Amino acid sequence: MQIQVYISATLRAFAERKAKVEIEGSTVREVLGRLQDEYPESKKALFEESGALRPFVSVFVNEAPIATDSEYDTALKETDKILLLPIIAGGAPTESVISDERRKEVSLDDAEIERFNKHLMLRDIGVKGQKRIKAAKVLIVGLGSLGSPVVQYLAAAGVGTIGIADFDEVSLGNLQSQVIHGTRDVHRPKTASAKDTIKAINPKIKIEAYNEKLESDNIANIIGEYDVVVDCTDNYKSRYLINDACVLLGKPVVFGAMYQFEGQVSVFDAKSGPCFRCQFPSPPPVGLVPTCSEGGVISPLPGLIGSIQANEVLKLIIGGGETLIGKLLVADTWNLHSSVLNIHKSENCPICGSNPTITEIEDFDYEDFCGLRQTEEETPVEVITAEELVARIERGDTITIVDVREPHERAIHRFPNAIVIPIGQLARRQKELDPDIDTVFICREGKRSILAINTLRDAGYKGPMYSLAGGIESAKNIIFSHEGAWL
């Protein structure tokens, strides 16, 4: 019996870039076993040595999650569909997060009645709902692709206090999808650019700008006064940090994530449903699942996903409506496939389960948890700077350069004379490398090259290996004298 298996965009590198495959099998366990046989590159990346899926991947059958080991042996029907979904990352009608007392403290003047008349006409919003929106305080963390539509739509809707947190500056490459910023904002702090845009939309909004990085020692003070937090970040450390702070402080998080043509949205509220850790107990190894900065994103996708996030925020503020608490919306805009998947609270969750082990944010090592801290037991990965590498190339040193990037990345910036070996093929192709000479691994930002080196170490390769510090981004403006052209 052939079963359709849908593969999330971030995992397709391990399945020959296919969004959907048909695998023979009568149970989920059989299908996953044969998936490994047909696509060998998926075996080490997605599965443990025992054959079980790694913790950062969830399995859904017909939009229902596989929650126990025994469910892997449940008989499948021909019409059943399996979805493999990694972290990137019911809803009954809800009560408003804004109390009646706070609602009654605000009023709408004539200009606001005219500005928000389309809301006032809606029976489910009306005057009471618009007053709740004005009384609300919402924090948006991340002012990039997702933060752009979220900020603008919440400002247009009349949210009274908007907090914006980001420590980055606007770059030219941001403008393709980060529509809150313009050409004149390049090199400005994103918080300053966003503040100008918000004021242009609605000058009456109170704006709190945090031009700083959220860390364990400051996040509680920053989010403490807000009713809803919107996670528009692009890294796992921030996602877990935001989730944990919100669980401990009793705040709902409106989560959004995307990669290439695919997006995810959910509302994590541990008081009435699962938190982020319930669905994704741990992140993938550094470099295994690329971010949107490494894999790219089509420019309209953030508008779609961010708009849904803003819509979820307004439902939480107004009250009523069916939210994405306990649900995960997954949308593949390239293949026109979308699902709303049920997700459940985990009794074993370390922060919102029956016996929590995380009780203070500052006591948890997020760097180590996300694989960002090198332990003393690990052999350090040696790095080489772009300048050092170019000097060695121009001297004519014997050296092997291995490019582990995706094809579309190499089309933008090529590296001269590099051989191409995807990370999933490194172990079986290690004989192509000469252990007597230096091998330098390159990727976009220097993360996947570290994963490549550790992968080869685990496979027993003994030759000297170096990671290009900062990846191709650190070298793209270098000119090789013998080529007379930009890298």
By CB neighbour count within 10 A (0-12 exposed, 13-18 middle, 19+ buried), where does 185 fall?
A: buried
Catalytic residue among 275, 292, 349, 352: 292
Characterize 109-131 residue by residue with b for buried, 16 or more Cβ atoms within 10 angstroms of its Cβ, and e for exposed. Answer: eeebeebbeebbeeeebeeebbb
Structure tokens at 150: 């979220």
Within 211-248, strands assigned E span: 228-231
Residue of 150, 158, 76 whose CA lies nearest to 115: 158
Q: Tell me the C-alpha distance between 418 and 467, whole Å.
A: 14
List the Cα angle 103/105/111 in 5-degree steps: 85
Q: Tell me the C-alpha distance between 196 and 182, whole Å.
A: 11
443 is catalytic: yes
> Bridge-partner residues for 256, per DSSP?
265
Catalytic residue among 246, 352, 370, 443: 443
Structure tokens at 53: 């899926």
By CB neighbour count within 10 A (0-12 exposed, 13-18 middle, 19+ buried), where does 51 fall?
A: exposed
Q: Tell me the C-alpha distance between 151 and 181, whole Å.
A: 12
Measure Cα distances from 109 to 126, 127, 131, 154, 155 in Å: 15, 11, 11, 19, 17
370 is catalytic: no
Q: Tell me the C-alpha distance between 53 and 325, whole Å.
A: 25
Name the helix (H) or strand (E) containing 408: helix 407-412
Which DSSP category does 297 fall into?
A: B
DSSP β-ladder status, 479-480 and 262-268 = unpaired
By CB neighbour count within 10 A (0-12 exposed, 13-18 middle, 19+ buried), where does 2 fall?
A: exposed
Structure tokens at 234: 């692009």
Which DSSP category does 322 fall into?
A: B
Cβ within 8 Å of residue 52, ≥6 positions away? none
Within 398-448, strands assigned E span: 399-403, 419-420, 438-442
Counting Cα atoms < 13 Å in the Cβ hemisphere of 421 gives 22
Which DSSP category does 26 fall into?
A: S
DSSP β-ladder status, 81-86 and 57-61 = antiparallel
Active-site positions read: 292, 443
